[in-house]
Amino acid sequence: MRYWWLIYEVTQNHEPLNPFYVSLISQLKTPKMKIAILGTGMVGKAHASRLVELGHEAIIGTRNVTRTMANDKPDHSGLTFSEWHNENPSVKVMTFAAAAKQGEIIYNSLLGDVTIDVLTKLEGQIGDKILIDISNPLNFSKGMPPTLFVCNTDSLGEQIQDILPNAKVIKAFNTMNSHVQVNPKLLAGGDHHIIISGNDADAKQRVNELLRSYGWEHIIDLGDITTARGTEMYLPLWLRLWGSVKSPMFNIKIVTNPL
Ligand SMILES: NC(=O)c1ccc[n+]([C@@H]2O[C@H](COP(=O)([O-])OP(=O)(O)OC[C@H]3O[C@@H](n4cnc5c(N)ncnc54)[C@H](OP(=O)(O)O)[C@@H]3O)[C@@H](O)[C@H]2O)c1
């Protein structure tokens, strides 16, 4: 409440607001929530750390808490899960079901090909909550580059919405690397785009606020959840671009010219 004077002061100036203030105001306006992130990979850990930084309570969900805490295999950043957890001690580690039950908003950062199986079993815990789906339908069974196991006339986002009819599924973040997802300012000062898809307008509004608090300034609402076909089918291009630009740190910027 004590920050309202700041919001009042900066919004009195009718010049376009400095992006720093836009992000700060979004952080102050976004109510602090209990957010459950399903998946302990690079994506899940990146969002859990960032959400804590933004003042939220983060819970990370895994199949087996003891096994995950004891996993001695380092990830791409060189840390084992427990080393990462030592650096992020306020993140609670729970089973998928316990995390989904406690979270007010759920993030799906599971491997694409296990997503439907895992989420089907969590229908009771997820109910009508917002579910931000970051997963991609990648099939690595025939090696690299992976193919898409669902595409053209369907998408993983739609399949999730089908099995969780009451949930408000919003596809987001899946078109960029996890570092960029949680900190868009790492690229071109944040001058690039994130695309979201989903059926529920209020849920999109809440996700928009959350994205702005992460620092996202350019958010494209592509339409209903069927539009997730487009962002999921971008993955084959994303993977080839990674090979060409020799770095996963890139993203899309949409440039338009009024006719
Ligand atoms: N990596 C990126 O930068 C990036 C960018 C955009 C989108 N994505 C998408 O985001 C999702 C997460 O990516 P990631 O790299 O963080 O994933 P990941 O490390 O490969 O896997 C994430 C989680 O999937 C769960 N999982 C794996 N096999 C399972 C099984 N048989 N049954 C149940 N759960 C299982 C694991 O749970 P446990 O905790 O139990 O091991 C793990 O925490 C993927 O769908 C990916 O395509 C990734």
CATH of the domain at 33: 3.40.50.720
Res 1 pLDDT > 50: no
Is 1 domain-assigned? no
Confidence at residue 7, expressed as pLDDT on a 0 to 100 scale: 52
Q: Are strands 138-139 and 147-148 parallel, antiparallel or unpaired?
A: antiparallel
- 192 versus 259: the higher-pLDDT residue is 192
- The residue-averaged pLDDT of 106-116 equals 98
Is 51 domain-assigned? yes
DSSP 8-state secondary structure symbol assigned to residue 16: P
**Are the C-beta atoms of 155 and 149 separated by less than 8 Å?**
no
Confidence at residue 30, expressed as pLDDT on a 0 to 100 scale: 72
Note down the domain range covering 103. 20-245
Is 229 domain-assigned? yes
Res 2 pLDDT > 50: no
Q: Residue 175: CB within 6 Å of ligand 1?
A: no
Residue 252's pLDDT band, with cuts at 50, 70 and 90, is very high
pLDDT of 210-236, one tens digit each?
Answer: 999 999 999 999 999 999 999 999 999
What does each C-alpha distance from 229 to 66, 86, 150, 152, 238 come to in angstroms? Answer: 36, 38, 9, 7, 14
The verdict on pTM exceeding 0.95 is no
Confidence at residue 31, expressed as pLDDT on a 0 to 100 scale: 81
- Find the 13 Cα to ligand 1 centroid distance in Å: 44
Q: Residue 94: CB within 6 Å of ligand 1?
A: no
Res 54 pLDDT > 80: yes
Res 5 pLDDT > 80: no
Q: Which of 84, 106, 111, 251 to mutate to test the pocket of ligand 1 (most atoms within 8 A of CB)?
A: 111
Res 199 pLDDT > 60: yes
Confidence at residue 18, expressed as pLDDT on a 0 to 100 scale: 67
Is 254 domain-assigned? no
- State the Cα–Cα distance between residues 201 and 204, nearest whole angstrom: 5
Q: Residue 44: CB within 6 Å of ligand 1?
A: yes
Confidence at residue 259, expressed as pLDDT on a 0 to 100 scale: 79
Q: How many domains does the chain have?
A: 1
Q: Residue 174: CB within 6 Å of ligand 1?
A: yes
